Structure 1
Amino acid sequence: MAEHPAYPVGLRLTGRRVVVIGGGQVAQRRLPALIAAGADVLLVSPEATPSVEAMADAGEITWERRVYTLGDLADAWYALIATSDPDANAAASAEAERHRVWCVRSDNADAATAWTPATGHSEGVTVAVLTTDAKGRDPRHTAAVRDAVVEGLRDGTLVAPHHRTRTAGVALVGGGPGDPDLITVRGRRLLAEADVVIADRLGPRDLLAELPPHVEVIDAAKIPYGRYMAQEAINNALIEHARQGKSVVRLKGGDPYVFGRGMEELQALAEAGIACTVVPGISSSISVPGAAGIPVTHRGVAHEFTVVSGHVAPDDERSLVDWPSLAKLTGTLVVLMGVDKIGKIAETLIAHGKPADTPVALVQEGTTAAQRRVDATLETVAETVRTQEVRPPAVIVIGEVVAIGPRTSA
C-alpha cells in the first residue's frame, strides 16, 4: 500500500459520525474543519486544550472525558487518532480497519488508511494538496504548494477565470489606508476580476498598475461639477457600467462606511436595482496610528477611542460633532480630514476643559513610503502644522497614548 500514491477524494460528512481520539494540539487544528463540514463529532479524551474544551462547551462537539475503549469507532464514518499513547493509537487504528472506517493517525501516517491534505479556501474553492510520492512525503513542501495556490487565487496573481456567466454588479471595496498589502484578500480578488474600477484618490493606487489592460479605470477624483455633483456622477457611473453587464469595483480608501460615503452609493445602487457587495476595509483611524507606533487604546491609559471627522470646523453650523463632550473624555480622540481645521479644533477642546499640554500626533501619508509623523500638543499643534507644513491626508491622534511609544518627527 505504501508504494502507491493516495487516492484523493472529498468526504461529505454532514450529519455523519466522526470520532476524534485525543484532545491535544492536533485535534485543536483539525476539529474546526470537521465542525465546518457539519460532522457529528465525538471527542474521546481525558483532557483537552482550552480551545478544544471551548468547542465542547459551545456544543459544537460531544466530549467524553475518558481514554479510548474498544467499540468507540462503531458506526463512525471517519476517525482521527491523535493521542500520546502509542498502544491506544494502534488499538484504535486496528478497530478502524476492522470496521472499514477511514482513519488518520497523527503518530504514524504509514499505518493510517487516510491522510489529511494541506487545505485552503478561496471564495467557494477548496484547495487540497497531497504528496504523491508515498516514500518521500514532505508536509512543509505540501503546505507551501497549498499556500502559493491559495494566495494566488486570493490576490488575483493566479488567474482562474469563471467560465460560467458571472452576475453583473458592484462591489464597494475598502482599500485600506494606502499600503497595497493592507487591502483584504477578498478585496484584492474582486479587484483582479473587475471589468471596471472606479478609484478614489486615497485608495491603494499601486494596485491599479496590476490590473489587466482591458480593465477600464475611472479616476473618481477627476469627476467634475464639484463635491455634490461628483458623488452623483460616481453613483451614475456605477449604475451605468453595472447595467452594461460588467463587474464593477468601487475602490475606496480605508473602509467604505467610515466617512467614505459608502452608504450613499449603496442606496443609489439599491434604488436602481443593482446588486451590491460591501467589502470592509482597514480604517485609517486605527491602522495609521498603529503604523506610527501609537495604540489607540492602552491598559491604564485609554479605555476608549472616538473617531470624528474634522472637515467641518467646530463653530460651523453644519457640524454634527459634540466637541464640548469630547473635551471631557479621557480616552483617545482620532480626527480624520482635520488638518486645516486643527487649530480651531484644539482651541475648542481646550476651551471646554481639555488640558493644553495633551499630546497630539499628526501622521501624514500613513502606511505608505512617504509616511511622516509630527508630534505636538493641543496648545502648539496649529503652529506646528504651519511650520512643519503638514498636508492632507493626515490622521490626527489626540490623547495620552501618543506619548506611550517612541516618538518620531519630520
Structure 2
Amino acid sequence: MTTPSAQPSFTPDSLLALDSVLTEEERATAASVRGMLADVVRPHVARWYLDGTLPARDLAKTFGDLGLLGMHLEGYGCAGTSATMYGVACRELEAADGGVRSLVSVQGSLAMYPIHRYGSEEQKQEWLPRMAAGEAIGCFGLTEPDVGSDPSSMRTRARRDRSDWVLDGGKMWITNAPVADVAVIWARTDEGVRGFVVPTDSKGFSVSEVTGKLSLRASLTGEIVLDGVRLPESAVLPGVSGLKGPLSCLTEARFGIIWGATGALRDSLEQALAYAATRVQFEKPIAGFQLTQAKFADAAAAYGKAVLLALHLGRVKDGAYPGVRITPEMISVGKLDNVRTALAVCRTMRTILGGSGITADYSPMRHLSNLETVLTYEGTSEVHQLVIGKALTGLNAFA
C-alpha cells in the first residue's frame, strides 16, 4: 500500500495572509533576522539549553552588527526603527529561543531605554553607542530576592554621602547580569525611587550566576549584591524619579514579549507540522488524522489572532492612528493573552510529537518551558489581570 504524502497549501503565516499586513521593510527585517539566526543560533541552541549556557558576548556583537540592539531607539548608534519593526525582530528571535530574545530585549528595552529616555547626555554618550554595537552588555536591576510584583516594597537603598551616593541591597533574577558591563539599578532614596547607572566593576558590586534553572536555560541569570557601592552624582538618571521610571521600562520591554510569544508559537506549530507529515502510523502520516488536524487548526487560528493583536499594538505604538496612544493597559492585554496562548499551543504541539517531543531535537517543549518564565517575568498573569480589571472597573484590587 502506498503511503499518502502531505502536500500543504498554506503555512501558518500564509493561511491568513499575515505577511501582507507588514510593510516591505518589515518583511525584509524578518527575513534578515531569520537568516542570521539560522546560521548562528539554531544549530547550537539545543546544546546551549541543555548545558544551561549562552555565548552572550559573541551573540551581542553579532546582533549589534545587524542593528538589533536598541533598534527602536534614535541616535547614539541605534537603528531608529519603528516599534513594529522591533516587534517583528522579537518574533524571529523567540522563534529561535526565548533566552536569545531576552538577551536582546533586556539590552535594548530595559538597559538602553532608561539611559536613552532618562539619562544625562554624558551617560548616553558613554554607554549607548557601545551597547548598540554589542561591545557592552547591560542589565536591569529591579526585582529583589523578597520583592517581585510589588516594587514599591524594594529594600535596596541609596543614601547620600556628601557629593556621592552609596548603594546597599540586592537584586535577583537579573538577565544578563553575569556578563553585564553596566547595570541600571533602582533603589529607594529619601527623595523616592531613583535609577542609577552602575558600572559592574564598581567596588562592592558582585554577581552570582543563578544555576539549576529548568526554564530559559539558554540565558544568563544572576543575583546582584550591592555592598556599599559608591557612585558619583553623575550616576543618577536625572530624568525621572519614583516608580514611573522602572515601570515605564517594563512597559517598553513587555511590548517585545507580545511579539516574541508569537515566534515561539509559530516555531512550535511549524515543527509539529513537519513532524506529523513524515511520522507514519496506521499506514499514513499522523497529519492525516482528524484529531491531529483539529489541533493544527486551533493552533493556526490562535497564531493568527496573536500576530494581529501584536501588530495592532505595534501600529498604535508607532502613532498610526491619530489621537491614539499606547497605554500600559493595552500592553497588559497583549502580554497576558499572547503569552498564555503561546504556552497552551506549544504544549499541544508537543503532544503531536509524542515521545520525540520531550527531547532537545524538537523545539516545542523548550519553548513551553521558556514560556513558563515569560508568563512570570515582567508582570505575572495575575498582575496583568488586575491591571486590566482596574481599567475596566475603576477599582483597585491590588491591595
Name the structure where strand makes up a greater proportion of residues: 1
Q: Same fold (TM over 0.5)?
A: no
Structure that is richer in helix per residue: 2
Q: TM-score, normalised by structure 2?
A: 0.22
TM-score scaled by structure 1? Answer: 0.22
The answer to which structure, 1 or 2, has the higher relative contact order (CA under 8 A, 6+ apart) is 2
